[in-house]
């Protein structure tokens, strides 16, 4: 079983993603603040990370940069999420190492396909 870390400040999104990803057969953990994400990554290994682009404190792109700059975490696949997708944001996500991007509201079928595709690539 693979483990997924969700980083999002919206409780409803966390609940939805936790339910969906658990139903795909993966273990799920979440943190509501980007600052907690780095602490959690230091404690526990994860096979996939989902990061909201728009968050307080540290935005998702800055968090992505920090994760990818760390040798211990740089190979973990990352899916970025946002409800305000634009081409510049999308380009920044991929430039800084995101493996995929998904728009909110989350479509369960698309999420499952993208999560499974990243796990298939890793294996």
Domains of the chain in start order, with CATH, are: 3-122 (3.40.50.2300)
Q: Would you state the pLDDT for residue 84?
A: 77
Q: Would you state the pLDDT for residue 56?
A: 85
CA distances from 61 to 11, 25, 52 (A): 20, 28, 9
Q: Would you state the pLDDT for residue 115?
A: 95
Residue 95, class by beta-carbon neighbours within 10 Å (0-12 exposed, 13-18 middle, 19+ buried)?
exposed
Q: Would you state the pLDDT for residue 78?
A: 98
Q: Would you state the pLDDT for residue 1?
A: 72
Q: Would you state the pLDDT for residue 119?
A: 86
Low-confidence ranges of the chain (pLDDT < 70): 122-123
Work out whether strand 48-52 and strand 78-82 pair parallel, antiparallel, or are unpaired: parallel
């Amino acid at each position: 079983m693979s483990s997924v870390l969700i980083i999002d400040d919206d409780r409803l999104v966390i609940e939805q993603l936790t339910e969906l990803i658990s139903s795909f057969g993966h273990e799920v953990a979440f943190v509501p603040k980007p600052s907690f994400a780095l602490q959690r990554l230091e404690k526990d290994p994860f096979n996939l990370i989902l990061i909201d682009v728009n968050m307080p404190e540290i935005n998702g792109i800055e968090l992505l940069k920090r994760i990818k700059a760390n040798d211990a975490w740089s190979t973990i696949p990352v899916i970025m999420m946002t409800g305000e997708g634009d081409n510049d944001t999308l380009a920044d996500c991929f430039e800084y190492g995101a493996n995929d991007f998904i728009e909110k509201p989350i479509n369960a079928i698309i999420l499952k396909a993208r999560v499974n595709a990243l796990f298939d690539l890793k294996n």
